[in-house]
Amino acid sequence: MIQTYFIKTFGCQQNESDSERIASYFRNRGFGKAKGMYQADTVVINTCMIREMAENRVYGTVNNLVKNKLKMGKPGKIVVTGCMVGMAARDKSGVFMKLIRKRMPYVDEFLPIEEVGFDHPPLRSDTVNAWVPVSNGCNNFCTFCVVPFTRGREISRPYADILAECRKLAAGGFRKITLLGMNVNSYGADLIVGADNVQVMRDIGRKYFGNKSGKMPAGYVLPDGRKVKPVLVTHLGRLRIPTLFPYLLEDICAIEGIENIDFMSSNPWDFSPELIGTIAKNPKITRKLHLAVQSGSDTVLKRMNRWYKRSEFLKLLRTMREKIKGVEFSTDIIVGFCGETDKEFEETLDLAKKAKFYKAYIAMYSDRPGTAAHKAFKDDVPHPLKKKRWQVLEKMINKPYVESLKRKKIPSKANR
């Protein structure tokens, strides 16, 4: 009899996209898709640990699944993958692996997502919109974020592979492409400067510019033989990691059949003038941009290790509104980050008013093991105060958005 699998995915679009490749990995081994978790011979749990609540949901799901399957007399196999396994694989002390084994004792296999890789053509559930990962991991080390520990350093997919996948999608009838990366607009840095790009990010002035005007990193040869100058971000008054993202967008725009291109998550510090220009002149690229701000207070941004000030963020939005007709912005905001005072929260409220986001993903700060914030600061904003701040921002940004959707009779996805 044919063996069956079922994948339960927690977390972001990157995880959803990984699950499409995991599905293909099982299909290639002759498995069929089961109707649900309880019918499957093998259940794969693709985990998220961005917040404590997400992690606890994983433990709850796995342990309930085991209990109920044992009751049904059909234990099957349980495979856990995704961020929690990524964290365990990178934790050299072995403490995190011990912890997850203890909290999910009946799991048969902990599968690092890297073992699935990019080689499996994804088994997509949508027939019009396709997610296309362009990179994995992140080098930014925002102090609150666990991603650099769960997914590792940023690694870009080869340029030619991404273009080939997009062309195949267009030929197969897909009309919308969403490019995915944890810091999607820094795509290509490692292709240009090599794996030491974490260091380059911090030392770019010293390494490539000798602290003066210096010279650009060597050019990059695109798959069609064009030699291009890597793009550097000068908006925020500093030199950042070189990227290829504007070229990639241009080349995808040129593919016949693709009508709409979206990308996430982009960060303010890699929004170069070149990228803005590329978006402005290509109507196929979305006008609904997601740009995470996280806080409107300079002192909180500094504690978060975010590389911009509130004034620079607002200036970036102003520039983009001037250059890109009809652009709208959504954002991510964390409330109750370590030591956030009333005044600092007021600054976030003030920025939100000025930025006029049409939607925001607002999260109450959740202390994550392994992060710099966990080591250096105290998670000292009481939960009721975090909740109150969350409610204030929700009411200010998302309530009008949800009401506008209701008027248009569109279901809301304002909270993830």
Binding segment toward ligand SF4, per CB under 6 A, in 25-33, 111-119, 138-146, 278-286: 138-146
Q: Is residue 82 near ligand SF4 by the rule CB under 6 A?
A: no
Whole-angstrom CA distances from 62 to 55, 57, 65, 71, 199 are 11, 9, 5, 14, 39
Considering beta carbons, is residue 9 or 183 the nearer one to ligand SF4?
A: 183
Q: Does 110 bind ligand SF4 (CB under 6 A)?
A: no
Site string for ligand SF4, 254-293 (x = CB under 6 A): -------------x--------------------------
Nearer to ligand SF4, 14 or 398 (CB): 14
Stretch that binds ligand SF4, among 77-85, 143-151, 221-229, 307-315 (CB under 6 A): 143-151
Interface residue with ligand SF4 among 136, 183, 266, 297 (CB under 6 A) is 183
Are 79 and 107 within 8 A, CB to CB? yes
**Identified binder of ligand SF4 from the candidate list 141, 208, 358, 401, rule CB under 6 A:** 141
Q: Which is nearer to ligand SF4, 7 or 241 (CB)?
A: 241
286 or 305: CB nearest ligand SF4: 305
Angle, nearest 10°, between helix axes 245-253 and 273-281?
A: 10
Which residue in 17, 81, 140, 297 binds ligand SF4 (CB under 6 A)?
140
Q: In the complex with ligand SF4, which residue's Cβ is closer, 9 or 186?
A: 186
Among residues 291, 415, 288, 313, which one has the least CA distance to residue 363?
415
From the centroid of its chain, how far is CA 17? Answer: 11
> Which part of the chain contacts ligand SF4 (CB under 6 A), choosing from 18-26, 94-102, 145-153, 246-254?
145-153
* Binding of residue 45 to ligand SF4 (CB under 6 A): no
Residues 331, 262: Cα–Cα separation, whole Å = 15
Among 113, 145, 166, 338, binds ligand SF4 (CB under 6 A): 145
CB of 151 or CB of 389, closer to ligand SF4:
151
User: Which residue's CB is nearer to ligand SF4, number 170 or number 393?
Assistant: 393
Task: Tally the C-alpha atoms within 13 A of residue 293's C-alpha that lie toward its C-beta.
Answer: 33
Considering beta carbons, is residue 62 or 304 the nearer one to ligand SF4?
Answer: 304
Residue 182 in the binding site for ligand SF4 (CB under 6 A): yes
Q: Fill in the per-residue mask, 151 to 170: x = in contact with ligand SF4 (CB under 6 A), - = not in contact.
A: --------------------
Single-letter residue type at 169: L
Which one-letter amino acid corresponds to residue 264?
M
d(CA 101, CA 357): 42
Single residue of 40, 138, 261, 363 touching ligand SF4 by CB under 6 A: 138
Q: State which residue, 145 or 300, has the beta carbon closest to ligand SF4.
A: 145
Question: From residue 83, how far is each of 45, 88, 236 by CA, in Å?
Answer: 11, 9, 31
Name the segment binding ligand SF4 (CB under 6 A); options: 3-11, 140-148, 155-163, 343-351.
140-148
Which residues of the shown chain bind ligand SF4 in the complex (CB under 6 A)? 138, 140-142, 145, 147-148, 182-183, 267
